[in-house]
Amino acid sequence: MVSDGEKGKLEFLTEAEEIVEALGRDLVLLDESLRAGPADPDLVNDIFRGVHTLKGLAGLFGATHLSQLAHELEAKLDDVRLGRTVVTPEVLDVLFRAVDMSHRLLVAEQEQTPAPVDQLESLLTKLRGSQKQAAGATPTDDLDLDPSIFAVLTEYEEHRLRTNVEAGLKVYRLRVQFSLLTIDESLDQLKTTAKPHGEIITYLPTGEGAGVDSIELDILMASRRTLGELAELLSSTGADILEVPRKAKRRETLTSQPPPLDYGETGRLAAGGGDLDFPRGTQGDAERRPRRTTSIPPDGKVGSVRSVTQTVRVDIQKLDRLMNAVSELAIVKSSLDRLFERVRPMTSDRRGVAELLRLSRTFDRQLEAMQQGILEVRMVPLGQLFERLTRVARQVGRNAKKQFNLVVTGAETEVDKLIVEELSDPLMHMMRNAIDHGIEAVADRIAAGKPEVGTIALNAFQKGNHVLIELEDDGGGIDTERVMEVALQRGLINPADVRSTSRRDVLNLIFLPGLSTRSEASEISGRGVGMDVVKTNISKLGGVIDLQSEVGIGTKFAITLPITLAIIRVLVAEVERHTFAIPLANVREAVQLSESDVFTVDGHEAMTLRGSTLRLCRLSTIFELERSRAAPRSAKRFVVVTMAGSARLGLIVDGLIGGQDVVMKSLGPSLRSVRGFAGAADLGEERLGLVLDTPSLYEEIVASDRKRGALARPPS
């Protein structure tokens, strides 16, 4: 059992991870918005708040390193949002690295491994250094504002006000009344309406003019619009708008002349008094300016004080247990059905039988709904993973000095949570490869007559019960001759086979361990360790990876994955009284076998199916199953045509039992070394069937062919 402390820690890790994810997302947005113009102050402020919350969390749970990092990061972001630091690409880079480090620290915390202290130190130094580059602030004195306003403005708000005034924007005061019941929505609505026309600097309660169940707010907003325009644009909000005039002269009027203020032109919605009347109670401590004194919680705490969304975080293992319980229930149900069939002839109670049948059908329907429901809960959009990839791509691109646009589509495509987790590393690696080995240097691209800036496309979409993820680049493509050369050098391919090896097969050589075509391995992609791991990881998920590549045009990887791991549809087949389940995702068709159609090529069995040669594999041979006397040799056998990428393999079985939905369970650690099985599944009546791992069987056969070929014809 998990202790309360551990549980708390787990929740901390999950929440912190979510914040870090959000930070990364916002930084990517910031990066994009910076290309278009000045940084969006709201976005910067969001990032600041996120880091602030993270700092609090880390402190609470004694994550010292993370808290240290968040502290420095917060200071840096504070400088950014207060305009003391200009967001240059270098600054952005440090911010990205800090987010990355936060993630690594969390992982270290979770796995109880030592934190990368040295790298953290150097990052902290970077964060501390190079501050205060921006010009000193200019006073806002020429603005005819009640000094009491300044008293309640936070440093940040004052900075925003100043920035806007400097930029020549007009300052308006919007007075609105909100019902206390709906204040959150109303305020959000107002913000959304006003946002395109300017910047909301602050909102404060007036402390008057409102009934018991409503509140009056003064909103300070900067805008380029004239009062008339703004009044028109915001008419739906019911706000009473005044322009805060500027003074011709400097400070003395402000100090000598206390409120009430002299407002200029009044908007057409104007009503009642024009006083900018802020709660006096907050004026006292002008030095350490208080944050807002309304019912709105202090900065950065909004998320933790009140739950914003109606969601629950659930440990995936709990869902697995639930799924187990449901499948046990399904088994109990089928036993009940059998029992009922047995008892049925013995009863004359027709009405009772009819009632039982009806109940049984309802039961089945509900059971199915339950399974479906649990499956849906496990599904998450690929978006989170794609955002992480975008971040990595940006970083790698900078380091490798490559220029490219990353185009992402289908981020909303949903996949089983576990698959998303397992997909993370392979995709990261492929992305690195695309940037490092795919996209050429700018000069080379120009020389090749290609656009200067490369393109990497990351697409995801659903196709039946599968999800396809494609990673495509318009880079240099894979040089098959070079691949062949290296494969020959390393003895991965037989010289005699060079002519007969198809282009496709050569490309697939990159999935072999120890093949890297780049003469010098780069720091980013490493030395040919990778694509074999990528392939293994993906086939573990029941998926396949395929690639196409043309020299000078680009490379495209396509990963096909099942949508969920929990329940899979299998074809149950029998071989020598053993029962095996073959995932239907890997099955193309099943045909009857007539032994006379089988011929031998290069020492292995094959047959012709729909005009092309199909490699055959006898499961009884590959698994060395003892021949049972029960099955006569002449019995009709079947060929189950399975797919491994675009390659086909025909598995010879003795009999087909039928299709079934099963919950796949993994074999225990003691059987980890046994290859060829993806797991086991309960086939009913407490009988387990082994689920075949067809991609790995195919791999095995290809590998043994290669070995045999190399033995038969030793290289001269």
Shortest approach of another protein to residue 577 CB, angstroms? Answer: 4
Nearest to 534, CA basis, from 398, 428, 418, 415: 428
Q: Select from 407-415, 467-475, 565-573, 620-628 the region that touches another protein (CB under 8 A).
A: 620-628
What is the C-alpha to C-alpha distance for residues 506 and 485, in angstroms, rounded to an integer? 10
What is the C-alpha to C-alpha distance for residues 550 and 284, in angstroms, rounded to an integer? 72
* Dihedral of alpha carbons 41, 47, 49, 52, sign: negative
Continuous segment of H or E residues that includes residue 114: none
Shortest approach of another protein to residue 687 CB, angstroms? Answer: 5
Shortest approach of another protein to residue 642 CB, angstroms? Answer: 17
When binding is defined by CB under 8 A, the residue of 43, 468, 492, 688 that contacts another protein is: 688
When binding is defined by CB under 8 A, the residue of 288, 624, 632, 658 that contacts another protein is: 624
What is the C-alpha to C-alpha distance for residues 127 and 123, in angstroms, rounded to an integer? 6
Q: Select from 50-58, 158-166, 535-543, 622-630 the region that touches another protein (CB under 8 A).
A: 622-630
Nearest to 622, CA basis, from 683, 699, 535: 699
> Quick check: 1 binds another protein (CB under 8 A)?
no
Q: Please name the residues in contact with 289: beta carbons below 8 A apart, sequence gap of 6 or more.
A: 151, 152, 153, 154, 155
Shortest approach of another protein to residue 196 CB, angstroms? Answer: 56
Q: Select from 105-113, 131-139, 396-404, 688-696 the region that touches another protein (CB under 8 A).
A: 688-696
Site residues for another protein, 322-381, by CB under 8 A, read 324-325, 327-328
Q: Nearer to another protein by C-beta: 111 or 686?
A: 686
When binding is defined by CB under 8 A, the residue of 114, 670, 714, 716 that contacts another protein is: 670
When binding is defined by CB under 8 A, the residue of 256, 307, 519, 673 that contacts another protein is: 673
When binding is defined by CB under 8 A, the residue of 677, 678, 695, 697 that contacts another protein is: 677
Shortest approach of another protein to residue 665 CB, angstroms? Answer: 5
> Quick check: 628 binds another protein (CB under 8 A)?
yes
Whether the CB-CB separation of 393 and 431 falls below 8 Å is answered with yes
Shortest approach of another protein to residue 368 CB, angstroms? Answer: 19
Q: Nearer to another protein by C-beta: 310 or 673?
A: 673
Whether the CB-CB separation of 174 and 221 falls below 8 Å is answered with yes
Beta-bridged to residue 215, according to DSSP, are 178
Residue 505: both structure tokens together:
């097969």
What is the C-alpha to C-alpha distance for residues 492 and 513, in angstroms, rounded to an integer? 9
Shortest approach of another protein to residue 2 CB, angstroms? Answer: 16
Whether the CB-CB separation of 517 and 479 falls below 8 Å is answered with yes
Q: Select from 68-76, 230-238, 335-343, 678-686 the region that touches another protein (CB under 8 A).
A: 678-686
What is the C-alpha to C-alpha distance for residues 444 and 506, in angstroms, rounded to an integer? 25
When binding is defined by CB under 8 A, the residue of 674, 711, 714, 716 that contacts another protein is: 674
Q: Could you tell me whether strands 688-692 and 677-682 are parallel, antiparallel, or unpaired per DSSP bridges?
A: antiparallel
Task: Give me the phi and psi of 74, to 5 degrees please.
Answer: -65, -45
What is the C-alpha to C-alpha distance for residues 109 and 57, in angstroms, rounded to an integer? 14
Shortest approach of another protein to residue 289 CB, angstroms? Answer: 56
When binding is defined by CB under 8 A, the residue of 690, 693, 695, 697 that contacts another protein is: 690
Q: Nearer to another protein by C-beta: 543 or 679?
A: 679
Nearest to 497, CA basis, from 705, 716, 702, 709: 709
Q: Please name the residues in contact with 187: beta carbons below 8 A apart, sequence gap of 6 or more.
A: 178, 203, 217
Asked if the peptide bond before residue 260 counts as cis, ω within 30 degrees of 0, the response is: yes
> Quick check: 667 binds another protein (CB under 8 A)?
yes
Shortest approach of another protein to residue 591 CB, angstroms? Answer: 24
Site residues for another protein, 49-78, by CB under 8 A, read none
> Quick check: 579 binds another protein (CB under 8 A)?
yes
> Quick check: 696 binds another protein (CB under 8 A)?
no
Shortest approach of another protein to residue 711 CB, angstroms? Answer: 22
What is the C-alpha to C-alpha distance for residues 429 and 525, in angstroms, rounded to an integer? 7
> Quick check: 668 binds another protein (CB under 8 A)?
yes
What is the C-alpha to C-alpha distance for residues 201 and 157, in angstroms, rounded to an integer? 6
With contacts defined by CB under 8 A, how many residues of the chain interact with another protein?
34
Q: Nearer to another protein by C-beta: 208 or 328?
A: 328
Continuous segment of H or E residues that includes residue 687: none
Residue 710: both structure tokens together:
């190399």
> Quick check: 640 binds another protein (CB under 8 A)?
no
Residue 477: both structure tokens together:
């493509």
When binding is defined by CB under 8 A, the residue of 344, 577, 636, 713 that contacts another protein is: 577
Shortest approach of another protein to residue 9 CB, angstroms? Answer: 21
Residue 432: both structure tokens together:
């690195």
> Quick check: 301 binds another protein (CB under 8 A)?
no
What is the C-alpha to C-alpha distance for residues 156 and 164, in angstroms, rounded to an integer? 12
Beta-bridged to residue 549, according to DSSP, are 555
Q: Select from 34-42, 89-97, 301-309, 570-578 the region that touches another protein (CB under 8 A).
A: 570-578
> Quick check: 632 binds another protein (CB under 8 A)?
no
> Quick check: 686 binds another protein (CB under 8 A)?
yes
Residue 565: both structure tokens together:
């791991």
> Quick check: 565 binds another protein (CB under 8 A)?
no
Extract the runs of DSSP E, i.e. beta strands, from 410-535.
Answer: 414-416, 454-463, 466-473
| CA contacts within 13 A on the Cβ side of 4 | 0
Q: Nearer to another protein by C-beta: 389 or 652?
A: 652
> Quick check: 666 binds another protein (CB under 8 A)?
yes
Query: Which amino acid is it at 579?
Result: T
> Quick check: 578 binds another protein (CB under 8 A)?
yes
Shortest approach of another protein to residue 520 CB, angstroms? Answer: 41
Q: Select from 24-32, 253-261, 536-544, 663-671 the region that touches another protein (CB under 8 A).
A: 663-671
Neighbours of 36 (CB within 10 A): 7
> Quick check: 576 binds another protein (CB under 8 A)?
yes
What x-and-dash track marks residues 588-617 binding another protein by CB under 8 A? ------------------------------
What is the C-alpha to C-alpha distance for residues 633 and 637, in angstroms, rounded to an integer? 9
Q: Given the rule CB under 8 A, which residues bind another protein?
A: 324-325, 327-328, 576-579, 623-626, 628, 665-671, 673-677, 679-680, 682, 685-690
